[in-house]
């Protein structure tokens, strides 16, 4: 369960403030970039299958669009808060900038638990969300996408509602669509593969061979599964994964010394990324407490679940063998934990660089939808590899040049690009 006292937006602002000092940004730039440009808060009434009407709270936050239309996912989560959405929108701004794609940062969410909603109720929730913001989003303004506990089907319902309202076809309004309905090949793999493209480059810098490395992963959703897939293809071995158990309302770590078998775990996983504890035991996995993933004797840690997972309270549990932390999730590491990681000289690949593969491929999908021409999967993943590798190398070079921590270097590049766009537009 997430710490209710944790405010991710305050963390995002603290990270920005630190880099604003490094860049010596003036007061107007700080004021503009420290807070979202626009926010939408709204109620979504849904008639439930039993006949009663339930009202859900929804959000869309547009942090900055100086470099292009807003871009960012929509989360369905029972613990969603406006401060989470604000933080994620800000991180999306930096994420789009670090991989140098012409988009800004946005994020959306609904406070709900889709585990407890029928398909019809989820459809009504999706359509209701779009009705509330249909005038303020679109292919030239703000482009949504899937996020935690939303899927291609949710995106298609949202697209259909948007097109119904506007009376025309706008496939570029939303990304993460089914491939047969304007989605992009390679989109499902993109975020997880992007994480591993950056891990590959970090291994090269540290002169480590993938086949000699072990990894421990938090989360078993789309990002984690495809990261494990590509890491295995490179010769690496994942010894455990940690994920949330919906029945027990807690998390567990599933471990095998010989390495987890991806397809084996996929066969006992629900569509929200939850692994069956009992079936895992039957397959010979150790079932450990949820935080045990952090303590494993591994070379690489990949937090790929949600924010606020590596904190001052558990960072010292990280094994001395760990050389790389690749943040597949958004905001998994608090500033206090960051200081410890930096002192230990662990090579950190920050979230908005490591997991930028998703938004990069979403941008590719948006481009394809707008021109009504679609690329082969090899083309998409090749372009993705090129973008992610170039972004990693730029951040690494900045870190070496200015003797910065990798997170600081990534922020320096991103914030500088966004601030310059605001200045060029005459906003500041």
Closest CA to 303 of 316, 318, 287: 318
Closest CA to 356 of 26, 48, 93: 93
Residue 416, number of CB atoms within 10 A of its CB? 16
Q: Which among 108, 140, 171 is the end of a domain? A: 171
Same structural domain, 155 and 64: yes
Same structural domain, 203 and 142: no
Answer whether residue 30 is part of any domain: no
Give this prediction's pTM: 0.90
Domain count, the chain: 2
Q: Are 311 and 341 in contact (CB under 8 A)?
A: no
Determine the 3-state secondary structure of 170 from DSSP. coil
What are 343-398's pLDDT values in tens digits? 999 999 999 999 999 999 999 999 999 999 999 999 999 999 999 999 999 999 99
Backbone angles phi, psi at 401, to 5 degrees: -65, -40
The alpha carbon of residue 70 and the mean position of all alpha carbons in its chain are separated, in whole angstroms, by 15
Q: Which among 349, 368, 394 is the end of a domain? A: 349
Q: Are 409 and 23 in contact (CB under 8 A)?
A: no
Answer whether residue 129 is part of any domain: yes
Same structural domain, 157 and 237: no
Same structural domain, 154 and 263: no
- CA 313 to CA 215: how far, in whole Å? 22
- CA 279 to CA 277: how far, in whole Å? 6
- CA 238 to CA 24: how far, in whole Å? 42
Residue-number span of the structural domain to which 317 is assigned: 188-349
Answer whether residue 284 is part of any domain: yes
What are 403-422's pLDDT values in tens digits? 999 999 999 999 999 999 99
Same structural domain, 229 and 310: yes
Answer whether residue 415 is part of any domain: no
Helices (H) and strands (E) in the chain, counts: 14, 12
Q: In the block, which residue shows the tokens 């010894």?
A: 239
Same structural domain, 145 and 117: yes
Catalytic: 107? yes
Q: Are 272 and 221 in contact (CB under 8 A)?
A: yes
Same structural domain, 205 and 332: yes
Closest CA to 395 of 63, 190, 97, 104: 97
Q: Which among 325, 349, 373 is the end of a domain? A: 349
- CA 331 to CA 350: how far, in whole Å? 9
Answer whether residue 1 is part of any domain: no
DSSP 5: T
pLDDT digit of tens for each residue in the chain (428 aa)?
345 578 999 989 999 999 999 999 999 999 999 999 999 999 999 999 999 999 999 999 999 999 999 999 999 999 999 999 999 999 999 999 999 999 999 999 999 999 999 999 999 999 999 999 999 999 999 999 998 889 999 999 999 999 999 999 999 999 999 999 999 999 999 999 999 999 999 999 999 999 999 999 999 988 999 999 999 999 999 999 998 776 677 888 988 988 999 999 999 888 777 888 888 888 889 888 889 999 999 999 999 987 788 999 999 999 999 999 999 998 899 989 999 999 999 999 999 999 999 999 999 999 999 999 999 999 999 999 999 999 999 999 999 999 999 999 999 999 999 999 999 999 99
Residue 1: the pLDDT is 39
- CA 304 to CA 306: how far, in whole Å? 7
CATH number at residue 164: 3.40.50.10860
CATH number at residue 330: 3.40.50.720
Answer whether residue 328 is part of any domain: yes
Which of the following is catalytic: 95, 107, 237, 277?
107
Closest CA to 302 of 396, 230, 235, 408: 230
CB within 8 A of 143, min separation 6: which ones? 69, 70, 71, 103, 106, 137, 172, 173, 174, 175, 362, 366
Region of residue 345 (phi > 0: left; psi between -120 and 50: alpha; otherwise: beta): left
Same structural domain, 209 and 304: yes
Q: In the block, which residue shows the tokens 């030239």?
A: 140
Determine the 3-state secondary structure of 177 from DSSP. coil
Answer whether residue 379 is part of any domain: no
Same structural domain, 209 and 161: no
Same structural domain, 345 and 201: yes
- CA 176 to CA 186: how far, in whole Å? 10
Same structural domain, 114 and 208: no
Same structural domain, 245 and 214: yes
CB within 8 A of 114, min separation 6: which ones? 76, 122, 149, 150, 272
The H or E element that residue 215 is part of is strand 214-218
Answer whether residue 59 is part of any domain: yes
| Long-range Cβ contact pairs of 146-149 (< 8 A, separation 24 or more) | 146/73, 146/74, 146/176, 147/72, 147/73, 147/74, 147/75, 147/88, 147/107, 147/108, 147/109, 148/73, 148/75, 148/76, 148/77, 148/221, 148/306, 149/75, 149/76, 149/77, 149/114, 149/272
Q: In the block, which residue shows the tokens 């021409």?
A: 373
């Amino acid at each position: 369960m997430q710490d209710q006292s944790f405010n991710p937006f305050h963390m995002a602002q603290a990270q920005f403030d630190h880099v604003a000092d490094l860049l010596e940004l003036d007061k107007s730039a700080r004021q503009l970039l420290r807070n979202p440009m626009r926010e939408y808060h709204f109620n979504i009434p849904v008639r439930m299958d039993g006949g009663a009407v339930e009202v859900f709270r929804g959000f869309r936050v547009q942090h900055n669009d100086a470099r292009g239309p807003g871009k960012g996912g929509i989360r369905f989560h029972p613990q969603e808060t406006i401060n989470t959405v604000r933080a994620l929108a800000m991180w999306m701004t930096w994420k789009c900038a670090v991989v140098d794609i012409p988009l800004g940062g946005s994020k959306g969410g609904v406070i709900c638990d889709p585990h407890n909603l029928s398909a019809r109720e989820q459809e009504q929730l999706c359509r209701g969300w779009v009705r509330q913001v249909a005038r303020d989003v679109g292919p030239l303004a703000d482009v949504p996408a899937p996020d935690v506990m939303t899927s291609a089907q949710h995106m298609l319902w949202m697209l259909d509602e948007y097109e119904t309202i506007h009376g025309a076809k706008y496939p570029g309004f939303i990304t993460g669509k089914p491939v047969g309905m304007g989605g992009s090949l390679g989109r499902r793999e993109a975020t997880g593969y992007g994480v591993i493209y950056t891990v590959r480059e970090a291994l090269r810098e540290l002169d480590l061979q993938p086949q000699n490395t072990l990894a421990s992963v938090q989360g078993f959703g789309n990002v984690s599964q495809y990261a494990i897939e590509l890491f295995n293809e490179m010769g690496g071995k994942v010894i455990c994964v940690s994920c949330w158990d919906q029945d027990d309302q807690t998390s567990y770590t599933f471990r095998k010394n010989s390495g987890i078998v991806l397809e084996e775990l996929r066969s006992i996983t629900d569509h929200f990324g939850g692994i069956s504890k009992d079936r895992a035991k039957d397959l010979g996995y150790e079932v450990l407490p949820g935080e045990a993933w952090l303590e494993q004797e591994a070379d690489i840690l990949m937090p790929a679940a949600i924010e606020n997972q590596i904190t001052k309270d558990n960072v010292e549990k990280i094994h001395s063998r760990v050389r790389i932390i690749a943040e597949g999730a958004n905001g998994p590491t608090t500033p206090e934990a960051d200081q410890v990681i930096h002192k230990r000289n662990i090579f950190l690949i920050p979230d908005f660089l490591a997991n930028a593969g998703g938004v990069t491929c979403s941008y590719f999908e948006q481009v394809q939808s707008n021109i009504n021409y679609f690329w082969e999967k090899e083309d998409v993943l090749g372009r993705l590899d090129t973008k992610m590798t170039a972004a990693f190398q730029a951040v690494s070079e900045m870190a070496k040049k200015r003797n910065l921590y990798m997170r600081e270097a990534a922020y320096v590049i991103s914030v500088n690009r966004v601030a310059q766009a605001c200045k060029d537009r005459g906003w500041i």
